Every structure is written in C-alpha cells, then in structure tokens.
Chains A and B, each alone.
Chain A
C-alpha cells in the first residue's frame, strides 16, 4: 500500500521534471518561431539600408543600426582598457587585503544593479551634471559602468590561468613588470579578454532601459564622416529602443518584429562566437 503511494509520487515528480525541461524547450521554440515568422517578411535590403520616412515612403532601420554600432564602438574603446587594467591591478599588483576585497565587492554590486538604475544615473550625471544631454556619448558612458564587471571578471579569470612560470621567467630575464604585462600576460589572457568583450557587446545590443533616458531615440542617418563624429554628441536610438517604440507608441508591429529578427540573429551569433572562444580557451588551458 505505502509502496504504491511512493511509486505514485515518484511518477508524478518524474513527470514534473520532464515537463519542466520540455517547457523550457517549448518556450525557446515558440519565441524563435514567432519572431522568425512575423519578422522575416519585413527584413530586406531596403529595411536594413534606409530610414523610415513618410515622405519617401520607406521603412528602415539603417539609422538605428548605425547608432547601435557607434554605441558599441565607443563603449568598447573605454571599457576594454579600464576593465583589463582593473583586472591586471587586482591580479598582478594588489596584495590580498582590504583594497582588493573592496574593489571586488564594488564589481559585484555593479553587476547586480538593474539597467534602469544605470539609466537614471546616466541621465542625471552624464546628461545633466556634465551637460552631455541625450547623446550617444551619454549612453556609452552609462553602458561602460554596466559592462565593466563583465570585462573585469573575464580578464581576471584569464589572468589566473596564466602559469606563474611565465611571470617568473620574464622577470628573471630582466623584464620590467610593465613590459612583462604588456608582452606576456595580456597576449596570454587574450581569449578571456575577447570573451569579456564579446559578452559585453551582447549585453549592449540587448540593452534598452539604460539607453532610453541617456541616448534618446533619434533614428536619422548621420551624413558623411563629419556627421558620424557629431552624431556622438547627438541623440540616437539603438535597435532595441526602436523596437520598443515601434511596438508601443508607434504601433508598428511589422517593424518591431523585423528588428526582433535582426536582434535575435546578432545575439545568437554572439552566443556562438563566445562558445567557440571558450572552447579554444579551455583547450589552451588543458595544455
């Protein structure tokens, strides 16, 4: 009797476990299928290369693509040196103690802050106090804070796997510490640094809440090389921001799904690249 009861509850639990796994799979498949079916029709060459304009009768996201790329490039330009530098400091210079645990705690806190708070801070500090207003630069500066923990952590992991023999060897041969870091450590840690960079790009591509009040939502294409430079100081909406606006205030679901399709392609591409990178990274670690 009691044996039967146990068997029944076991069966139920087993079924629940399998169902949960199936549900997870189903969720992904539903999202993929829905976005692909509704989105693929909107995506064509003119969608990717023109700007939405009632006068010309075109629908396109070229301006948003340029804005997204500008924000990625600007953010990376700042965050890679700073993040790698911070990791080098933590791993190579600082002795374990209060300062290190303080920096590590701050990094952890930073990675736990939701993007809407970053957006609020970015708007208040970079936008208003520093007077940068709604601009690509304000957005980038905000995102630097957001993705900094990703870069620091991945670089740190990579630095930890560089054998101490490399360090002793270089120093023993008379190299200065800075020279050793530049020529031995950073190149050896490159896969980890790259992983951090690519993960950061993925985060930036998918980010919306931190950009709404910082980078704004303009979607026009900059004109010429000078236009791109001055664009840095002007408002510019990324793909995610345009998706949000298309789906809510503009009510244009075709564009929204077109952007969703493009975003999924980018995000999954990034996912694939990180996988390949970590695999190589692990392979070199085992050697």
Chain B
C-alpha cells in the first residue's frame, strides 16, 4: 500500500517537473507552426526585408524590416543609456555609501528605490511617459524642427520617448545585478589595490568593475531581453507608424506591432503578425542562449 503511494507521489512530482519543459517545447512549436506559413506565402525575403507595411491596402504589402530595425535600434539605444547609469548607481550603492551611518541609510533607501522601480507595472511607466515625457519631447521636437516643412510632427510620441522609457525600465535590472556582482568581488582585491596607492575611484574602475565584469554582463543581457520584450509601456509612447527608426519618428516595434494590430487582423495579415511574433521569439531565444553561456562562465569562474 505504502509502496504504491510512494510510486504515485514520485510520478506526480515527475510530471510537475516536466511541465516547464513541455511548456517551452509547446511555445516553441506553436511559434514556429503559426509563424512559418506567412514566410512562405509572402516570401521570406520580401517579408523580412520589405520596407512597406500596408496590410489592409487593396494590394497589401507586408514588409517588416523597419519594425525589426526599430526593435534593434530602440533596444540598443535604451541599453546604451540605461547600462552606464545602472552600473554607476550600483557603484554609488556599494562603494560610496559605506562607512558612516548616514551613508548606510542612503544606501538602504536607494536599494529600496531600485526594488520599487522594478515592481512598478509597465502600464504605469507608459502612462507617466505619455503625460510627462511625451510633452517634454514634443517641446524639444518643436524647437529642433521649427522651420522644417518636411518633418512630420509626432507630438512627442516617437522613438526617442520609447527609448527613454525603456532605459528607465531596464535600470532596476542592471543596477540590481551589478550590485550583487560588485559585492561578490573579494575585499582582498580592493585592499590590495588601495594598499598599492591607487585611489578609491582607480580601485573601482581598474580593479572592482573588471572583476565584476561577467556579472555585470549578465545584467546587461537581461536588460536587453527586457527591453526587447517590453510591449505595453512603449506602445503608449512610440507613436505607432511603421517608420525608419530615427529619434523623432513615430515607430513600431516587434512587440507593439502585435499589441496594436492583433485584435482586428484576419487572414494573411494575422498570419504575418504571427511571423512577427516568431522573429521576436528567435531574438529572445538567442539572448537566452547567450545568458546561459554567461552564467556558465560565471560558475566556472567561481570555482
């Protein structure tokens, strides 16, 4: 009797353990099965490298090159802005505030702020972006393009706004992971550097940060993943026209393409949207593989 219960328990636990694997396989399977047909129907090259997106026109064209480029450019720019600020904040948290009691207080407060920023739902970032950031960007846009007749004004909803929102959204991830990897650097390294006469900042930038490099890289890659996959917040601030990704252009990302057109699409248009999902999924898988390699490197480094 007991033996049978034991066996059942083991089997049930095994099944529960396999659900994660089955889910990943099912998601991958569905993404390919649903995303592939449009590649054949439209033609892979015309789909991936076409620049005209007119899904509802009489003679529809489905080119998603600008959408892919917007995602790449937007993510890269957000990472370029967000990562330095995140890493420097991490340095502030770990090395600028120890010692005095006040310093520890500030450090605790800032760390709590990072955690809260990470917990804020993305629609709230989008909402604040719409009402605080976009008007400011619009003022900047009016200043820059004051005399231009060719510029299409975006009212502040453009790539630049989206990049800034994304940069803010990846900050907590980058800061958090940088903090833990900086804290993991042995004290002896710091002490040795300081004892050799290096200043505090020299120690941080020449010794501590290089030693924490692989951990910080993990944070960067996680940030890339988060920026690439973010949908709702940037859908609220990016404008939404399919366009060349320039700062003051209204743009579409892979994610926002799905959010804004899925509800009313049908037929080939809908299948092309699944292909957009597939492209996004392939990007994410590549980033995940990169992440696994980085983490493995970190582990072997520790040993």
Contact = CB atoms under 8 A, between A and B. Distances in A.
Given A240-B121, A256-B127, A21 B110 contact: yes
Interface string B1-29: 01001100110111111111101101100
B119 A270 contact: yes
Contacts of A73: none
B30 interface: yes
A114 interface: yes
Given A208-B232, A268-B116, A260 B127 contact: yes
Interface string A261-279: 0011001101100000000
Interface stretch (B37-45, B188-196, B283-291): B283-291
B56 interface: no
B288 A24 contact: no
A125 B30 contact: yes
A63 B251 CA distance: 34
Given A115-B229, A208-B122, A209-B232, A13 B201 contact: yes
A109 B281 CA distance: 11
Contacts of B274: 120, 124
B77 interface: no
Contacts, number: 230
Nearest to B221: A112
Given A102-B21, A152-B20, A24 B175 contact: yes
Interface residues on B, range: 35 or more
Contacts of B116: 28, 268, 271
Interface in B87-132: 88-89, 91-93, 96, 109-110, 113-117, 119-128, 130-132
B226 to A, nearest CB: 8
B20 A212 contact: no
Nearest to B19: A82
Contact of A24 (B89, B91, B127): B89
Interface of B: 2, 5-6, 9-10, 12-21, 23-24, 26-27, 30-31, 34, 84-86, 88-89, 91-93, 96, 109-110, 113-117, 119-128, 130-132, 168, 171, 175, 199, 201-202, 205, 225-226, 228-232, 235-236, 255, 258-259, 262-263, 274, 277, 280-281, 284-285, 287-288, 291-292
27 contacts: A10-B201, A13-B205, A20-B86, A21-B88, A21-B89, A24-B171, A24-B175, A28-B117, A31-B120, A34-B132, A85-B13, A89-B17, A103-B17, A103-B18, A113-B27, A115-B231, A121-B30, A125-B30, A207-B121, A209-B232, A213-B263, A240-B123, A256-B127, A257-B127, A260-B127, A267-B121, A271-B115
